[in-house]
Amino acid sequence: MAVKIITDRVRRILEKNISARESDQFLSATIWYNELIDLGIDKETALKLCRLIKDNKLTSFESISRSRRKVQEEVPSLRGRNYFERHRNKTKIRKELGYPG
């Protein structure tokens, strides 16, 4: 999803809901609730899931992502194809951006 669309959604929620200003979990749960409804998930199921997120009963996306990066830094064999693709193109991109070697 485009950054502009996400930013607009976040702004609208922050304008309407003071609780979302204080909690990333609440903000995420609100966004995900709306997305789940748009995907056809029934409201009761969506609400249960989002309450779990809001109440910190599930591991945050941020913690999972940060932990994955740390493990992959420490154990290179666990890195995915995307990592190797990015690093294979690193020299080419640095050159295009005008950086040395």
pLDDT bucket at 40, cuts 50 / 70 / 90: very high
- Is residue 78 domain-shared with residue 48, that is, in the same domain? no
Q: Would you say residue 70 lies in a domain?
A: yes
Q: Would you say residue 18 lies in a domain?
A: yes
Range of the domain at 26: 3-54
Structural domain count of the chain: 2
State the burial class of residue 53 (Cβ atoms within 10 Å of its Cβ: 0-12, 13-18, 19+).
Answer: buried
This model's pTM is above 0.85: no
Residue in 31, 29, 25 with CA at minimum distance from that of residue 11:
31
- Is residue 35 domain-shared with residue 11, that is, in the same domain? yes
- Is residue 23 domain-shared with residue 43, that is, in the same domain? yes
Residue in 4, 6, 46 with CA at minimum distance from that of residue 29:
46
Taking residues 2-29, what's their average pLDDT?
92
Q: What does the pLDDT read at residue 74?
A: 95
Asked whether residue 75 carries a pLDDT value surpassing 90, the answer given is yes
- Is residue 24 domain-shared with residue 48, that is, in the same domain? yes
